[in-house]
Structure 1
C-alpha cells in the first residue's frame, strides 16, 4: 500500500494481459510452389512441442483443416526468435523475421507481406524447411473487453501506461494505437526486467502487470508486481498483488483502494495528533494559570475512549469503498441472462457453471459453500475443470447463481 498509491507508470504485458491470450490463425500465405498442406503439416509438427499460445493456435488450425502431421524431434528454442526441430529427416524453422534473416533464408517479396500483416495488428510467423522458405502463418489475438476501459482509467488517474512485449514492433504498435498507449516491442524475455529498471532509474514508481514465466523477473523488479489470476504459478509467486480474475479493471481498483487506504491513514494520524495536541496541555494544566481551564480525569478518560472510537470508525469507512471506475462488462451478456430468466427451469435439472478465478482448494470451497447456501441448490465444484455442477431442487434462476458466484469473488463465464 505504501508503494501502490505512488505508482506513476504501469507496464503491461500484451498476450494474456491486454489480450485474451487465445490467438487464432487469420492468414496462411504460401511461398511460390508450396502447397498449403505442406506448410501446415510442418508448422503443426514443430509447434505441437511448444506450449506457447501461438503454437497451440497453429496446431488447432491444422487439426481443424484435418492436416495429419508427424512427431517432431530435437526441439530447440531460441529466445526472442522462435523454435526449430527435425521432422522426418528435415530441419524445420519456425519463428520471426529475425530468425529467418540470421539463418540466411531468402524471403524476397514475402517480407513486405509480413509487414502488411503486422500493420494490421496480426503476428506473422515464418516457416522454412531446410533452406526453403515455406510461407507465413499470421495470427491475431483480440483485446479483452475491459482493456480499453482500464487503460482509460489509468490515464484519468494521471498514470502513464506502457505496453512491454516481445511481439513484432508493427503488430504491437497497431494495438498500442488502438489503446492510445506507449509501446516497447521486440523485447527479449531476459530484457523485460531491464526495461522496468530503466523506467525506475528515471525516478518513476513502476507497477508491472503480467501473467507469464517471462514476466517473473520484471514483476520482481517493479515497485509493485501484479499477476493475472489465470497466469503461471511462477508469475504469481513473483508478484506482490494477485488479481483473482483476468480483468485489468481489478488492477485499477487495487490502485484506487491503495489511495483510499493511505488517505484514511493520514486522516487518522491528523486527528489523533490534533486531539492530543489540544488534550494533553489541557490535562497538564497549562491553561489553568491564565484561563483557569482544567480537565476532570473522568472526562479525560471518556474523551480518550471517544478518540479511539473515532479513529476506528474512520478506518471502518473503508468497508464502504466503491471503485470510481466501474467495470463496463458483466460476467454474462445481459441479453443471455434475460433469456435464461424468461425460461422456466425444470426442477431437478443439472447445470454446469464455468468459473474463472479459482486457483486453490480454498477458492473452490468458498464457491461451493456460497452455492450450497442457496435454497434448493446442491453444488459440487471442480478446481481442475474450473467449474461448478449444480443440481436444482427448486426454481433458481441463472441470475441468482451468477450473482452468488460473483459475490464470492469469482466470475461465471458460461452456463451449460
Structure 2
C-alpha cells in the first residue's frame, strides 16, 4: 500500500536523504521516496503506522504530517458565517428560528457576541446562497467568515518583513564589521562605535546586531543541532556549526576587548555569522519563489477550476460556490464562462474550447447528451448541463492528481544525488575540521582557521544537488501537461529518453479505428451507393457501417427493401422491383454466374493496398464495386520519418492478415510489420523485441493493448482510448494527434539533458567551491574566501539550478 505525507523542515538533499534513511529503518516500510521540492514523502508499506513514523522522523529534526484527506462524499456541510445587523438576543433567536424551519438546514447556532452563525446543511437540498437569501428576508446580511484568508495574508506579510528586515540588519552589521577591512580606505562610522576610539562599543554593537539575526534564524540552530544529535546531519547542521563557531569565537573576543585587549577587534567574526544566516534565509526565500514557479503547472491547472457556478433550480438562476455543486444539479453555462464541473448537456448547443484538456486549439461542437468537462470554456451558445460526477472526480481533478503523482515520484537518476547526499554532510564536516586544523598549524592563527572552517561548511550546502532532479521533473511534467501529454512518473520520463524502438498498434493508433469507403468503381456511383446502403440497412457489420456512413455523407436516399437475406461469408441479397439486388464478395458474384472481368484489376489493386472490396449487382449484372479501408491518421508518416531520423526503430503490430497490415504500414512509411498477432500475444511480441536488447515504447489505445503497454519500458496510451489502456500506460496523450508521441519522447530527452546539466553544475560548484573555501588558493594567490561570499555563492547555486530547470517552460 502507498501512503503520502507532508514533511517539513527539509532544506537540502541531505535532509531528504536523512528522512528516507530514517523511514526505511522502520518496521514494515518497503520503500520511502522523498520529494524535496514538493516537501512530500511517498511510503510503500504493508500497513500504515503513522504515529511511529512521525515520532522517528521527529527525532531526526523533521515533522511528518498527514496530507489533507480527500473531500468526503457526504453532502452535509458546516460553514461559519458573519451576520451583519444583529442588535440583541431577539435578533439571533429570530435568525435561528427562521433557519431551522428551512428545508435542508440540519443545525444552526448563532453567536450574538461574535456576530457569527455556525450552520450545518444538506447541499443536495439547499445551497449557501439560498441560506443567505433566507437571512436577508429576515432583515440581516450574511457572508462567509474571512478569518482564515486574513491569517494567511498576515502570515505572508510577516514572513516578508522578517526576511527583508533581517537583510537590513545584516547590511548594517556588514557595514560596521567591514569598515576597517578595506585597506587604506575606511568606511565612515560615528565616533561612539569607532574601532579606534571605542573598540568595545564597536564590538558590542556588532554583538547586538548579530544576536538579533541569530535569534531570527533560531530554526537553523534548533534543526541543525537536533539533526546532528540523531545522526542525520543536513544543511542546517552546516550553517549552525559554521555560524555558531564564528559567533562564539567573536563573543570571546568581545570579553577580551572588555578586559583591555584592543587588538582583539581584528578577531571579530560577528558579521560573518550574522550575514551568512541572513543570506541563507534570503536564499531560501528566493529558492521558495523559484520552486513555486516550478510547480506552476499544477497551480495553472488549479486556476482552471471555476470558483462559482450558476445553479438552475425551480426555473431560477442562482450563483453558488463550485464546492456546493453535487451530482444531479442542473447548471447554466453562458457564453464566455468556464464549465464548473463535468456533466452532460441537457439543453442547448455551443462550441466549447477544450484546449486546456486536450491541447487542441479548435473548438468542439457540443449538444444534448454530449459530455462537457470542468475548466473548459463555453464560447458562444447557452448550455444547460447536469453534473455527473463529484467535484473531486472530474477529468481535471484526475489530471491534477496524475501530474502531482508524477512530480512526487523519483526518477532513477535522482538516486545518484541521494546516495551522495547521504555521505556528503559528514564528509564536508570532516574536510572543514581537517582544513581548519592544518591551517592553524601552518599560520598559528585561530581567526584564520575559523574563516576556513566556516567558509567550507557554508559553501558546501547540498541544496543545489537536491533540487537538480525534482525541479527539472516538475517543470518538464508541467510543460507536458500544458501540451496535453500526461507523464505519470519521473521514472517514465527518464526511461522514455532512452527508448530506441517504438511499436505502434494499428487500429485506432496508426489508423482512425473504423473502416471508411475510399473508392467507388461504377458508371453510376450514386446508384451503386444507394443499392449497397439499401442492402446494409440495420446491419452492425463494420463494412456495412462504412457504406451507410458514405451514403449519408453523399446525401443519398436508399430505396426501401424487404426480405433481405444473408449468405454467411459471402454477402446479402434482396428483391427490388422483382429483380435480384446483391452486395458481397467476388465469390458470391461468380457463383451467380455474373461477369466480373470489368473490375478484376481494380479489385487486385485495392487488395494490394489493404482494402476490402464489396461487389454490387442488379438484375444479374455487376454494376459496381466499393473499396473500404481503415484510413491512416493525419501526420503518421511525418512522425515515423521523424522517429526514424532520430535513430529509433519503428514497428507496427496488428491482428490483420499480413497483406493488409503490410499495405497499411507502407502508407505510414513503416517497414517493420508484425502481423496476424492475437490480442493476448502482443505482450509476447514486445518481450521478444526486449530480448533483442531493445528499449521499447508501446503505443496503443485499446483494452487488448493493456498488457503490451505494461510489458514495454514505456507504455503510451492515446487519451481517446479505453480506460484500461490509459490506466496501464506510463504516458497518456489527451489528443488523438499521433505527433504527440514524438513530442513526448523529445520532451523526455530535453528533461533528462536538463537534469544532467543541473547535476553537473551542482557537482562542479562543490568540487571548485570547497577547495577554494579550504584555502587551496591562499599559498600562491593569497585568495581566501570570506564566509559572507560563501553564503551568497551557496544561495546563488540553488537559484541557478532552479532557473536552469525553468528553461524547460520554453520547450516547443
> Which TM class, normalised by the smaller chain length?
0.5 to 0.7
Q: Identify the residue that residue 117 of structure 1 maps to in structure 2.
A: 606
Q: For residue 184 of structure 1, what is the aligned residue in structure 2?
A: 674
Q: TM-score, normalised by structure 1?
A: 0.58
Q: Is the deviation greater in 171-180 or in 54-63?
A: 54-63
More helix per residue: 2
1:22 Cα deviation (Å)? 3.6
Query: Cα 1:68–1:163, aligned 2, differ >3 Å: closer, same or farther?
Result: farther
For residue 273 of structure 1, report the CA deviation from its aligned partner: 0.6
- 1:326 is aligned to none
* 1:11 aligned residue (503, 523, 536): 503
Does the alignment pair 1:301 with 2:794? no
Distance in 1, Cα, partners of 2:535 & 2:558:
14
Shift of 1:145: 2.1
- Summarize the Cα distance change of 1:56–1:240 in structure 2 as closer, same or farther, 3 Å threshold: farther
Number of the residue aligned with 1:348: none
The CA distance in 1 between the partners of 2:708 and 2:537, in whole Å, is 31
How far apart are the structure 1 equivalents of 2:560 and 2:725? 35
Shift of 1:287: 4.2
Q: Please report how far the alpha carbon of residue 90 of structure 1 lies from its aligned counterpart in structure 2 after TM superposition.
A: 7.6
Higher relative contact order (CA 8 A, sep 6+): 1
Q: Is the 8 A contact 2:657 2:676 kept in 1?
A: yes
Match of 1:272 among 762, 769, 775: 762
- After superposition, the Cα gap between the structure-2 partners of 1:44 and 1:9, relative to the gap in structure 1 and judged at 3 Å, is farther
Is the partner of 2:502 in helix, strand or coil? strand
2:664 corresponds in structure 1 to 175
CA 1:205–1:69 in structure 2 vs 1: closer, same or farther (change >3 Å)?
Answer: farther
Cα 1:292/1:141, change in 2 over 3 Å: same
2:611 and 2:628 in contact (8 A); partners too:
yes
Whether the 8 Å contact between 2:532 and 2:547 is mirrored in structure 1 is no
Structure 1 residue 247: deviation in Å? Answer: 0.8
Contact 1:12-1:164 at 8 Å conserved across structures: yes
What whole-Å deviation, never above 9, does each CA across 1:291-341 have from its counterpart, x for those lacking one?
54321100000011111111111111101112xxxxxxxxxxxxxxxxxxx
Q: 1:266 to 1:161 in 2, by over 3 A?
A: same
CA distance in 2, matches of 1:207, 1:8: 8
Question: Which residue does 1:336 correspond to in 2?
Answer: none
> Could you give the per-residue CA deviations for residues 258-304 of structure 1, whole angstroms, max 9, x where no partner exists?
11100000001111111100111222234445554321100000011
Mapped pair 1:284 → 2:774: yes
Secondary structure at the residue paired with 2:494? Answer: coil
Q: TM-score, normalised by structure 2?
A: 0.31
Q: Which residue of 2 aligns with 1:198?
A: 688
1:61: Cα distance to partner? 6.1
Distance 1:201 1:137 in 2: 43
Distance 2:566 2:772 in 1: 91
Is contact 1:148–1:179 with CA below 8 Å preserved after alignment?
yes
5 Å matches for 1:97-136? 116-123=605-612
Measured at CA, do residues 306 and 23 of structure 1 come closer, stay the same or move farther in structure 2, by a change above 3 Å? same
SS at match of 1:142: coil
1:48-94 CA-partner distances (Å, limit 9, x unpaired): 2x6x6x56425646886747799xxxxxxxxxxxxxxxx99988458
Change (3 A) 1:26 1:270: closer
The answer on 1:245 being equivalent to 2:731 is no
Q: After superposition, where does 1:37-56 map in structure 2 within 5 Å?
A: 48=540, 56=545
Give 1:233 deviation, angstroms: 1.8
> How far apart are residue 152 of structure 1 and its match?
1.2
CA distance in 2, matches of 1:89, 1:178: 36
Q: d(CA) in 2 for partners of 1:196 and 1:125?
A: 35
Once residues 702 and 559 of structure 2 are traced to their aligned partners in structure 1, the CA distance between those partners, rounded to angstroms, is 30
| Aligned mates of 1:306, 1:205 — CA distance in 2 | 38
Evaluate the alpha carbon distance shift between residue 67 and residue 270 of structure 1 in structure 2; reply closer, same or farther with a 3 A threshold.
Answer: farther
What CA distance in whole angstroms lies between the structure 1 residues aligned with 2:705 and 2:714?
Answer: 13
- CA–CA distance in structure 2, aligned partners of residues 22 and 155 of structure 1: 27
What residue in structure 2 maps to residue 153 of structure 1?
642
**Contact 1:45/1:69 (<8 A) preserved:** no
User: Equivalent residue of 1:6, what SS?
Assistant: coil
Matches within 5 A, 1:359-370: none
Distance in 2 (CA, whole Å) between partners of 1:150 and 1:264 is 24
Higher mean C-alpha displacement, 262-271 vs 14-23:
14-23
Residue 311 of structure 1 corresponds to which residue in structure 2?
801
Q: How many residues align?
A: 284
Unaligned runs of 5+ in 2: 1-492, 522-527, 572-587, 616-624
Partner residue in 1 for 2:515: 23
Partner Cα separation in structure 2 for residue 150 and residue 36 of structure 1: 35
